[in-house]
Structure 1
């Protein structure tokens, strides 16, 4: 399984009154990594894959330890744990080489913004996502 690696800068404004990254800011970090994964790495030059829109149906976040401000970026690793006909689940770790700050997952639904309806995952998108599918995830590939 391949993992997508995103280097996320920390901003001074991400801190809360207790001197660490605010819990709500981690949702933005996950979004940055997910957008980098889905749009910048979408298959094919000029491919419409993932460009038609998507919506978040669910987030789950486990805060493992506080992350304090520093000048070095934090690493976000993400991979796919489930591919359905009209949704996918992405898992993340926000981490440094020696520790994990957050473990999370997001259910993403491809969405036709013009028609305002969910849509199915295309064959091209599925092929791209399969490269990042966790090898240990039993039953992660739905028809």
Structure 2
């Protein structure tokens, strides 16, 4: 499987009084990795980004182990599960060398924010996403 891996630094503020990272922040971690992965695919100008956006329609997170605050980053891995028409499904794993803390799936729609309507994923986007597609 070809994955995009983002080494995510944890913040002290992410942890609760017990030192555990709050589960709600896992969605933020997924968003951060996904956004960094998409940087090379999305247009650089604001108008282009509005017309070639992707919006999240569903996120499912399976929490596997508590993640405690530490200085070392965790890896957020992202890959394409499926991609066709206007639909994109991404898989994720938040892990380090010892364990997996969470696995997730995000369903997204290619979207034109100016028209407020879904759009087809372009050939260029399909070529980019093919780099990270499950084999």
TM-score for both structures, normalised by structure 1: 0.85
Say which structure is richer in helix: 2
Whole-angstrom CA distance in 1 between matches of 2:13 and 2:44: 36
Question: Paired residues, what number?
Answer: 133
Q: Runs of 5+ in structure 2 lacking a partner?
A: none
8 Å CA contact 1:43–1:128 kept in 2: the answer is no
Note the C-alpha offset of 1:19.
2.1
For the residue of structure 2 that corresponds to 1:31, the secondary structure is: helix
For residues 17-53 of structure 1, the C-alpha deviation after alignment (integer angstroms, 9 at most, x for no partner) is 3320101000000000000111x2328988x589722
2:132 maps to 132
Q: Runs of 5+ in structure 1 lacking a partner?
A: 136-143
1:10 maps to 10
1:107 maps to 107
For the residue of structure 2 that corresponds to 1:88, the secondary structure is: strand
Whole-angstrom CA distance in 1 between matches of 2:74 and 2:51: 27
Change (3 A) 1:59 1:122: same
Note the C-alpha offset of 1:9.
1.0
1:42 maps to 41
**What is the CA RMSD across the aligned residues, in angstroms?**
2.0
Note the C-alpha offset of 1:16.
2.1
1:83 maps to 83
Whole-angstrom CA distance in 2 between matches of 1:114 and 1:50: 6
8 Å CA contact 2:51–2:114 kept in 1: the answer is no
Whole-angstrom CA distance in 2 between matches of 1:104 and 1:79: 11
TM-score for both structures, normalised by structure 2: 0.90
Point out 4+ residue stretches in structure 1 off by more than 4 angstroms.
43-46, 48-51
